């Protein structure tokens, strides 16, 4: 099982980074592989947590050089495609945990929902359309709950029709 | 000037299609080129409006064959990259008009905001983060107003820092 | 009809640049649209030739900013995907003219042949596989002949099975 | 260290498949990770060889679904980007072993040389430009030699300037 962690980079708060590290640890604790965008902030904290707990991490990098990966990425996937790599992070995952984040994270949430991937949110974007809240993002209160919900959804193969 | 129109495909309502056609007409009326994803729904209606008004249209297609373009696309750009082409639609535009739409449209809005492109919305997604509304999408009430605001923002070179 | 021109960038010789300009002029002379990678060298010379002859030019750019286009690009398509944009140049074309060029050009030739696009070569790569010459690139001696052969092949809809 | 194996898919000969399996085995034998396009033919044979020898395999898939991976892929990277994923296979590798192959393989060789990645060839494409053979592909006679040369080049960090 592969679980994606998405979230803010430079703008991530200390609280978000702590959550990300706990999410990474919980992913490894369940024997799943962590995939992310491979850079700093939430991505780095999540990778550090996963590695601390003995897990494996994949970083899907935007640039052309593996050296831009954070030091906790085991397997750098080098795309050279900039932000278009966001789609690869979520397509490669069985479920996605979104932590905080800005517009880049929002693009990943949108792609994940478009492809029917389960998305679990920790203090992340809220969406509304046509005057109604969109409840596709499952809300979690703690890192452990987020990873449990993500793994359960992934195991259940929950998918929604793609647009 | 190049203006992107993004919005729903199969699920677009009759009202959204009428707005899209009027948006396309207004873009051509201002002498701008229309760019979109090149397929059906809001994309096709907008292209039809632009062509009716003597404008030029570009369709950035997800598949490998130009024949999937709607009949009102003048210049099909064939990517073979699936939904990763969404980023190209917004990066190529000076401003974006979002009409209604589902998660694919949301990914385009997210990318546009990430890259500092002005986004004008007609009955489209509303976003909130950290307990606050995100007001980056400029709201318009009519197709003409949406295109006017988009062209003004594009001319002003409004950009916000990218994440 | 859309004809792609591919070839060297910084390393292009004066002879290659002269051929590229003549190719661009011939494409416009036949009423076709020119598509290319939008940067310097063969790309810029071809765009200049096409514009001089009253034609329209599309530049599919690797970076995130339309300002990197050469001054003879009418419609910049901004991909932000680096060299992955090479595939878009050839997929969007009905036929391809290859002039000189280095490994980037070779990747475009390979993609074009993979997708069954006609490729006409002017002093460009020669390929061999399994001890035999690969004759898929049609050779031309002059810019005018190259464009004539490309347009004829495009009109004939010549395609070969993709791998 | 990550070594890419590229080569033919459906058209691969029995000899090429045997070489690919031996290449995969040798990559694992040296403790390197194998990366490839994740599908059939040379890709599948190489993954099988690597797995038989206790190695780890990454498959960078063109489609949107991990289920298209061959059964010997440990970590499917799902791009949804079609043949544009070829660039990711070579950018992610420290060196590339090319076995036989058609135009898709040629696009990967071209990208690898463009990015200065060492390429070792087993009965694969031969290139000429400007009337001269291009000797950038290092030729090997056996699978073991190919992997040894690839790993040595990767360790030496051999790079050539990119175009």
Report pLDDT digits (tens) over B9-35: 988 999 999 999 999 999 999 999 999
Residue D84 at interface with chain B, using a CB cutoff of 8 Å: yes
Residue B37, pLDDT above cutoff 90: yes
How many residues belong to chain D?
Answer: 163
Say whether residue B58 is in contact with chain C using an 8 A CB cutoff.
yes
Q: How confident is the model at residue B160 (pLDDT cuts 50, 70, 90)?
A: very low
- The Cα–Cα gap between A53 and D20 comes to 35
Q: What are the backbone angles phi and psi of residue B2, rounded to the nearest 5°? A: -120, 125
| Three-class SS of C73-126 | CCEEEECCCHHHHHHHHHHCCCEEEEECCCHHHHHHHHHHHHCCCCEEEECCCE
CA dist., res. C142 & res. A26, Å (int):
65
Q: Please tell me which chains touch C, using 3 or more CB pairs under 8 Å as the contact test.
A: A, B, D
Statement: residue A160 has pLDDT above 50: no
Cβ within 8 Å of residue B98, ≥6 positions away: B6, B7, B105, B108, B109, B119, B120, B121, B122, B124, B125, B137
pLDDT at C93: 98
Give the three-class secondary structure for A70: coil
Tens digit of pLDDT for each residue in A45-57?
999 999 999 999 9
Mean pLDDT computed over A111-134: 96
- Chain B positions touching A11 (Cβ under 8 A) are 163
Contact state of C78 with B91 under an 8 Å Cβ cutoff? yes
Across the B:C interface, residue pairs with CB atoms under 8 Å apart total 49
Q: Using one digit for the tens of pLDDT, what is the confidence trace for A57-97?
A: 999 999 999 999 999 999 999 999 999 999 999 999 999 99
Q: Which two tokens stand for residue A116?
A: 């029917």
Can you say whether the dihedral through the CA atoms of D73, A34, A109, A160 is positive or negative? positive
Give the residue from chain D lying closest to B81, CA to CA: D81
CA distance C140 to C156: 18
pLDDT of residue C158: 52
Q: Phi and psi of B58, rounded to 5°?
A: -120, 135
Q: Taking 90 as the threshold, does the pLDDT of residue A144 lie above it?
A: yes
C-beta atoms of A82 and C83 within 8 A: no
Residue C157: per-residue pLDDT: 63
Q: How confident is the model at residue A116 (pLDDT cuts 50, 70, 90)?
A: very high
For residue D88, which residues of chain A lie inside 8 Å, CB to CB? 77-81, 88
Q: Closest approach of chain A CAs to the CA of B29, in angstroms?
A: 29
Distance CA B23, CA B143 (A): 5
Q: How far apart are CA B57 and CA B50, in angstroms?
A: 7
pLDDT at B62 over 60: yes
- What does the pLDDT look like over C60-92, one tens digit per residue? 999 999 999 999 999 999 999 999 999 999 999
pTM across the whole model: 0.95
Compute the nearest-CA separation of B40 from chain D (Å): 20
Neighbours of chain B (3+ CB pairs under 8 A): A, C, D
Residue range C83-128, pLDDT digits in tens: 999 999 999 999 999 999 999 999 999 999 999 999 999 999 999 9
Is B115 touching C (CB cutoff 8 A)?
Answer: yes
How much is the mean pLDDT over chain A?
95
- For chain D, 163 residues long, give each residue's pLDDT as a single digit of tens: 999 999 999 889 999 999 999 999 999 999 999 999 999 999 999 999 999 999 999 999 999 999 999 999 999 999 999 999 999 999 999 999 999 999 999 999 999 999 999 999 999 999 999 889 999 999 999 999 999 999 999 998 655 444 3
Confidence check: pLDDT of C145 > 90: yes
The C-alpha atoms of residue B87 and residue A11 are separated, in whole angstroms, by 22
d(CA B35, CA B24): 10
Residue B68 has pLDDT above 50, yes or no: yes
Indicate if ipTM > 0.90: yes
Task: Please answer whether residues C98 and C7 qualify as being in contact, where contact means their C-beta atoms are separated by less than 8 angstroms.
Answer: yes
């Amino acid at each position: 099982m592969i679980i994606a962690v998405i979230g803010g980079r430079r703008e991530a708060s200390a609280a978000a980074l702590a959550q990300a590290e706990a999410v990474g640890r919980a992913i490894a604790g369940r024997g799943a592989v962590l995939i992310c965008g491979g850079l700093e902030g939430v991505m780095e904290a999540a990778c550090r947590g996963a590695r601390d707990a003995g897990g494996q991490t994949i970083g899907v990098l935007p640039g052309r050089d593996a050296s831009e990966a954070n030091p906790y990425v085991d397997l750098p996937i080098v795309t050279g495609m900039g932000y278009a790599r966001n789609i690869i992070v979520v397509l490669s995952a069985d479920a996605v945990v979104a932590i905080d984040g800005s517009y880049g994270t929002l693009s990943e949430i949108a792609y994940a929902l478009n492809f029917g991937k389960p998305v679990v949110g920790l203090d992340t974007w809220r969406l509304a359309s046509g005057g109604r809240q969109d409840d596709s993002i499952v809300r979690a209160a703690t890192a452990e709950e987020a990873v449990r919900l993500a793994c359960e959804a992934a195991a259940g193969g929950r998918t929604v029709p793609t647009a």
